[in-house]
Amino acid sequence: MSKDKLGVEINVEPKRVSGKRDKKIYGHFIEHFHRQIYNGIYDPESPLSDEDGFRTDIIEAVKKIDIPILRWPGGCFVSSYHWKDAVGKERKPLFDKAWRVEDPNTFGTDEYIKMCEKIGCEPYICTNAGTGTAEEMSDWVEYCNLENEGQYAKWRIENGNPEPFKVKYWSIGNENYGHWEIGAKSADEWGKLVREAAKMIKHVDPETELSAAALSDLEWNVNLLKNCGEFLDWISIHEYWDMVPEENDLATYEQCMAFTKDVGHAVDEVRGLLKAMKLDKKIKIAFDEWNLRSWHHPNVHTIEQGVDKKDYLDPRDKNDDNSQYTMADAVFTACFLNAMNRNCDIVGMANFAPVLNTRGCIYSYDQGIVLRTTYHVFDLYVNYLGDTIIDLWTDQLPQMTINDKQGNEVEVESLDLLATKWSDKEGIAIAAVNKAPQEGQLLDLSIAADYKEAKLFYISGENKDSYNDVDKNEVKIIEEDLGEFAGNLKLELKPHSVNIIQLK
């Protein structure tokens, strides 16, 4: 870019630290839905699977983005799931009333733990608070965490696992506030159930960290925290912005950018409540299910159910169309992760939903995998960005005017910026997201320091609708050498791009 052309002036002060993010904000989620588990990561019949039935190409891709924690088994699935039917030699098939399919129960707790070990991530188990009981939840903790006391620890040993799994993170329930959830509860019912479940789980293993389903709703959360705040370490919130469960009418790139206007609103609302109840130093937010777009699954969460499978089951294949996962998904994902980093004092975990297939960042098919645009965002943030949030400011961010999905005119900042450094080495890394669909963005970066090496790592694609598929790889990480940094750097960000600027 021309040295005399002015860009957005950005200042960074590395000595002003906002906080250190927990790596669990780059967590993921997997559910017994469509092809996430069966014919997904767990496929014993595939020639690409190892001796335990896990797809090695998927495991390696997941390891590359260093997933810190993986939530399982649901999701809506868990609210009629009885874990005891899916361990041991005698597996009992389950008719999953949430998704209306048979689950053979060949993938259960033991297989999940083995998968987490292969990935190198922390397990995070979500319990059945729909048709399940507090005792059943605590029995699950016994199975996983007790050394050899009681029938369930002994059962784990009998099943070939002499050492405890030491599962630290547990969630009581999924979205039990929702009419769509099997075993939905009122706010009063929820507070009482969570209290009893938490009490029993802590009696089994006091070192567990517990979360419970919540939402940015005052009555629900006040009741939950009033009854159970002393037992909880986390409060769980979920959000999807482009809601398409019944009609797969996806938002356009510009409409997706409108969703970024207030991407952290749920965090702000729950933070305020925790602070008002003097629990903000004790309880952290687990944003443990999130994605730009909701999953498409028509005629199952409705009063009148689909009767023919072509009405309720076959449409789920639409989630497999890779052309849907464009730079819109990537840019939104980066904006969300920036917001979670900025809120690192209160957000300690976030789980992209899901990691594989459906709306996942990885797509699998019989011969291999596709790394969707969102996969490369996680690659950038996990492997190129720092872990300590530092001060960044600018006089004014550029704005763009777009129409949201309802046709309303919305003004949105076209840049989303985050500055970081590393706690274990020298250097600075800045995340710079250019949301503008067509226009590049000039930056003028100032830091009162010199660095020997400046590099840019980015994804953009040829246009805002670029995507990856079995036979195309339009979006990938590009590296550019920017030379030395002597207090100032001028560069141009491509349109619809996610960028990491590293100074070392």
* pLDDT at site 218: 82
Looking at the fold, whether 181 and 227 belong to one and the same domain comes out as yes
Q: How far apart are CA 180 and CA 382, in angstroms?
A: 34
Section 99-118 average pLDDT: 98
3 found inside a domain: no
pLDDT digits (tens, 9 = 90+) for 113-151: 999 999 999 999 999 999 999 999 999 999 999 999 999
User: pLDDT band at 6, cuts 50/70/90?
Assistant: low
φ, ψ for residue 282, nearest 5 deg: -105, -40
**Per the omega criterion (within 30 degrees of 0), is the bond before 75 cis?**
yes
Contacts of 136 (CB under 8 A, 6+ apart): 82, 83, 84, 127, 128
User: pLDDT band at 396, cuts 50/70/90?
Assistant: confident
Question: Which residue intervals of 277-394 are DSSP H helices?
Answer: 309-312, 327-342, 373-384
Q: Provide the number of structural domains found in the chain.
A: 2
Section 7-15 average pLDDT: 95
pLDDT digits (tens, 9 = 90+) for 75-94: 999 999 999 999 999 998 99
* pLDDT at site 216: 61
Looking at the fold, whether 55 and 150 belong to one and the same domain comes out as yes
State both tokens at 366: 């019989």
Angle between helices 218-228 and 187-204 (to 10 degrees): 30
Mean pLDDT of the chain: 96
Angle between helices 134-145 and 109-119 (to 10 degrees): 50
Residue with tokens 């990938």: 476
User: pLDDT band at 341, cuts 50/70/90?
Assistant: very high
User: pLDDT band at 73, cuts 50/70/90?
Assistant: very high
pLDDT digits (tens, 9 = 90+) for 363-391: 999 999 999 999 999 999 999 999 999 99
User: pLDDT band at 2, cuts 50/70/90?
Assistant: very low
Last residue of a domain, one of 353, 384, 415: 384
Last residue of a domain, one of 348, 368, 384: 384
Looking at the fold, whether 456 and 376 belong to one and the same domain comes out as no
Q: Would you say residue 3 has pLDDT above 50? A: no
371 found inside a domain: yes
Range of the domain at 324: 21-384
